[in-house]
Amino acid sequence: MPAPRLALFALEALPNARAVRRFVADHSAEIAFVGLSNAERPNAGGFFGQIRRHLARSGPAFLPYLGVNFGLPDLMRPLAPLTQRLSDSRDAPEATPLAALCRRLGIPTLTVDDVNGPEIAQALRDYEAELILTFHFDQILSGPTLAAVPLGGLNLHPGLLPRHRGPVPTIHALAEGPDVFGITLHRLAVAIDAGAILAQEALRLPPDVTASRASVLLHAHGRVMLDAVLEVIARTGRVPEGRVAPILPYCPFPSRALLRDLRRRGLKLTDARDLTDAAVLNARA
């Protein structure tokens, strides 16, 4: 059977950038369209509203993590043509911003302010998407959105579900570690990170790993896992039922107390190596 037509939703950032770009290059013929989340969308409070919420919840110690993982990649993206030319990496998918890569491959892209809004519903119909895939995406899909495609949706989560449900699982794994890092591919459900588990693997990461680097490594590994599950779907014409797990407590963005505890134990959310990786994201495959 032919592979299903994918509607891919992503927030391009340090954790997923190279993995999702490689995935798009390898699966371009199967991708109906790519939806790129607008991280500064008004309905999420805009840039300053989100920063205020993070400061109130996590305090200023969380800002370097946000800057390295999201802020710096955003700032460097317009410079990609220059950095690619200087590094001779223009033909490398991993070094090409996702929107530019999609243009090169002829894949339609949409900026997503509301994944459950009428524009996305229309796009799912117009592009005849059959399966939704979220690959480091920061918006929650509703029941009607998931029901709008025949095969439902899949999500790649850099954590060992049902543990560490939520937006920053590697921070919570770092706090519990070192044996609780892993990657899960699961069905999308209305409840956050609560769909049936299709594939899962625990990974032993280096002892000096940061929460940022752990997320990069796990997304890269998960992309291989995703390829295997998509092969099964293409062969059988359906998404496997998967394993239903109990829903454990939600793990939100870190509190000030959690960040203080990590610092006391010498555990880092990010470091100079992560900063370098973010700076050269569009210059090195």
Length of the chain counted residue by residue? 285
Say if residues 130 and 4 touch (Cβ distance below 8 Å): yes
On the question of pLDDT at 2 being above 80, the answer is: yes
Say if residues 221 and 201 touch (Cβ distance below 8 Å): yes
State residue 45's pLDDT score. Answer: 87
User: CA–CA separation, 226 vs 229, rounded Å?
Assistant: 5
pLDDT in tens, 243-269: 999 999 999 999 999 999 999 999 999
On the question of pLDDT at 42 being above 90, the answer is: no
What domains are defined for the chain? 6-278 (3.40.50.170)
Can you tell me whether residue 168 is helix, strand or coil? coil
| Rounded percentage of the chain residues whose pLDDT exceeds 90 | 89
Angle between the 169-176 and 211-236 helix axes, to the nearest 10 degrees? 120
pLDDT in tens, 112-168: 999 999 999 999 999 999 999 999 999 999 999 999 999 999 999 999 999 999 999
